[in-house]
């Protein structure tokens, strides 16, 4: 049975679409489109930069993606707006059940960590804002290996940091591509499907598929 | 001045959304959504499989993307439907100005080639269906290097095949990520913007940005 869990951050513990409200306030009628496109391009740019060997950290990539989204919606990106919207990434709301899930797992004696594309500064801010710091043993960023998920190196840093083989670690993500990458690397993968999830067709299936983070303890029983 | 041109195939010479009509005929009301999502996932899966080191050829990836798109639209994928829709990829319509552009460039004595993610069999079919075979010196697939654009290896096969340095080759694509990858590799890049194009924010700009393939001869003058 797995004694350690690595959680993806963005989309899994934290709701990336909690930026929608500010997008809508600043650009009425465009909040949903901006939020969707911002996230889509953020992911695409992590993949494309990794493939081209042009790594920039997640903060820079997220800002570039925001610039694309604003232009696409007919908004000229200006520094003040970019700074204000990027600030939301430092205080993303945790998903509703995240705190309860982490607390219960911690009480069970499971070693808990985050394994994320985020830069260390971004992760520190969002983790501390959610008061998750005392629940987590490690907050692991891909930044030292300068390549994003689902490249193997972005998962190897997790096994190296935790000092455990991949098959003794539960890797939890709501992002289909991340679950695929984690499964490919050898983790015992858990896909958080929530209500809208559709698994990617990448020839790898998650070991477990559940609706909520609070369904994890039952997997460990 | 460049004496050779490498054209991207899908989206640049050939209209990937020429599948929309058959999608709409088979699944009324869903043609546009299926066509968009099919293309989006096709590209995502090339990037993700390349990053994971799980290469499958473009035919397999395109079929996987179609499965995702159909499921997303509430359609159960069955073999006969998949086969019929995949068949469209062997006879995609060329963009309206493609034949004229190729003919004029050939008359100017420029060496013309295709540099594509497509598998050799897919490219042969679509090129021969459009009667472009006599205009092209080479049809170059990434398949031998088993990684998709924008990885450097997918561009190196072009310079290797043509026997020219990258900066003596014009690389033409309507796909922003491909223009970025080609620029990064060192080609003299040409972005075909058509009416709707928005360049990706990847820290690389195309050397030239034009509306139509028929604007290329003026770049060479």
Give the whole-angstrom CA distance, residue A175 versus residue A200.
Answer: 9
Which tokens hold the place of A72?
Answer: 């696409």
Span B137-175, pLDDT tens digits: 999 999 999 999 999 999 999 999 999 999 999 999 999
The percent of residues above 70 in pLDDT, for chain B, comes to 100
- The answer to whether B49 and B26 are in contact (CB under 8 A) is no
CB contact under 8 A, A203 and B150: no
Please list, residue by residue across A33-47, b when 16 or more beta carbons sit within 10 angstroms of its beta carbon and e when fewer do: bbbebbbebbbbbbb
Give the whole-angstrom CA distance, residue B188 versus residue B4.
Answer: 11
Average pLDDT in chain A = 96
Topology of domain B16-88, per CATH?
DNA polymerase; domain 1 (1.10.150)
Kindly state the helix (H) or strand (E) to which residue B6 belongs, with its residue range: strand B4-7
Comparing alpha-carbon positions, the chain A residue that sits nearest to B42 is A201
Instruction: Find where tokens 């990520």 sit.
Output: B177
**pLDDT computed for residue B72 by the predictor:** 97
Of B47, B65, B72, the CB nearest to A48: B47
pLDDT band at A221; cut points 50, 70, 90: confident
Residue B8 is among the residues annotated as catalytic for this protein: yes
Average pLDDT in chain B = 96
Span A142-189, pLDDT tens digits: 999 999 999 999 999 999 999 999 999 999 999 999 999 999 999 999
Span A97-153, pLDDT tens digits: 999 999 999 999 999 999 999 999 999 999 999 999 999 999 999 999 999 999 999
Give the whole-angstrom CA distance, residue B60 versus residue B66.
Answer: 10
Averaged pLDDT, A202-206: 96
Q: Which residues of chain B make contact with A68, given a CB cutoff of 8 A?
A: 198, 200-201
- CA of B114 to nearest chain A CA: how many angstroms apart? 20
pLDDT band at B197; cut points 50, 70, 90: confident
Exposed/middle/buried for residue B201 (C-beta within 10 Å: 0-12, 13-18, 19+) = buried
Alpha-carbon distance values, A157 to A146, A166, B133, B184 (Å): 11, 11, 48, 28
Give the whole-angstrom CA distance, residue A221 versus residue B190.
Answer: 58
CB contact under 8 A, B177 and A48: yes
Give the whole-angstrom CA distance, residue B41 versus residue B92.
Answer: 18
pLDDT band at A195; cut points 50, 70, 90: confident
**pLDDT computed for residue A2 by the predictor:** 83
Give the whole-angstrom CA distance, residue A60 versus residue A44.
Answer: 13
Q: How far apart are the first and last CA of chain A?
A: 9
Q: Is the pLDDT of residue B109 over 80?
A: yes
- CA of B166 to nearest chain A CA: how many angstroms apart? 16
Please list, residue by residue across A5-23, b when 16 or more beta carbons sit within 10 angstroms of its beta carbon and e when fewer do: bbbbbbbbbbbbbbbbebb
Three-state SS string over A25-41 comes to HHCCCCHHHHHHHHHHH
Of B47, B49, B201, the CB nearest to A67: B201
The percent of residues above 70 in pLDDT, for chain A, comes to 100
- Assign A95 to helix, strand or coil: coil
- The answer to whether B165 and B150 are in contact (CB under 8 A) is no
pLDDT band at B221; cut points 50, 70, 90: confident
Comparing alpha-carbon positions, the chain A residue that sits nearest to B199 is A68
Q: Is the pLDDT of residue A27 over 80?
A: yes
Which tokens hold the place of B117?
Answer: 């993610």
pLDDT band at B113; cut points 50, 70, 90: very high
Of A71, A148, A202, the CB nearest to B45: A202
Across the A/B interface, how many CB contacts are shorter than 8 Å? 93
Q: Report domain extents, chain B.
A: 4-14+92-220, 16-88
Q: Is the pLDDT of residue B1 over 90?
A: no
Topology of domain A4-14+92-220, per CATH?
Rossmann fold (3.40.50)
What ipTM score was computed for the predicted complex, to two decimals? 0.97
Give the whole-angstrom CA distance, residue B95 versus residue B80.
Answer: 28
Give the whole-angstrom CA distance, residue A169 versus residue B172.
Answer: 45
**Total residues belonging to chain B:** 221
**pLDDT computed for residue A9 by the predictor:** 98
pLDDT band at B186; cut points 50, 70, 90: very high
Comparing alpha-carbon positions, the chain B residue that sits nearest to A74 is B198
B4-14+92-220 against B16-88: fold identical: no
Q: Which residues of chain B make contact with A51, given a CB cutoff of 8 A?
A: 47, 50-51, 148, 150-151, 181
**pLDDT computed for residue B195 by the predictor:** 74
Span B50-103, pLDDT tens digits: 999 999 999 999 999 999 999 999 999 999 999 999 999 999 999 999 999 999
- The answer to whether B114 and B142 are in contact (CB under 8 A) is no
Give the whole-angstrom CA distance, residue A201 versus residue B63.
Answer: 9
Give the whole-angstrom CA distance, residue B72 versus residue B106.
Answer: 43
- The answer to whether A84 and A22 are in contact (CB under 8 A) is yes
Give the whole-angstrom CA distance, residue B67 versus residue B76.
Answer: 8
């Amino acid at each position: 049975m797995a004694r350690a869990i690595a959680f993806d951050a963005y989309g899994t513990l934290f709701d990336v679409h909690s930026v929608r409200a500010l997008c809508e306030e600043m650009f009425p009628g465009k909040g949903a489109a901006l939020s969707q496109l911002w996230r889509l391009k953020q992911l695409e740019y992590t993949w494309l930069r990794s493939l081209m060997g042009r790594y920039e950290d997640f903060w820079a990539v997220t800002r570039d993606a925001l610039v694309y989204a604003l232009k696409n919606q007919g908004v000229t990106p200006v520094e003040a707006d970019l700074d204000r919207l990027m600030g939301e990434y430092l205080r993303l709301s945790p998903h509703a059940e995240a705190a309860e899930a982490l607390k219960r797992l911690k009480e069970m004696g499971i070693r808990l960590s985050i394994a994320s594309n985020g830069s260390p500064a971004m992760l520190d801010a969002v983790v501390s804002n959610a008061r998750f710091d005392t629940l987590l043993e490690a907050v692991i960023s891909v930044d030292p290996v300068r390549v994003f998920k689902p490249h193997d190196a972005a998962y190897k840093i997790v096994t190296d940091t935790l000092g455990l083989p991949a098959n003794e670690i539960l890797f939890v993500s709501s992002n289909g591509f991340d679950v695929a990458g984690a499964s490919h690397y050898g983790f015992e993968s858990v896909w958080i499907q929530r209500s809208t999830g559709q698994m990617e067709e990448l020839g790898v299936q998650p070991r477990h598929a559940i609706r909520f983070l609070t369904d994890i303890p039952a997997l460990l029983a």
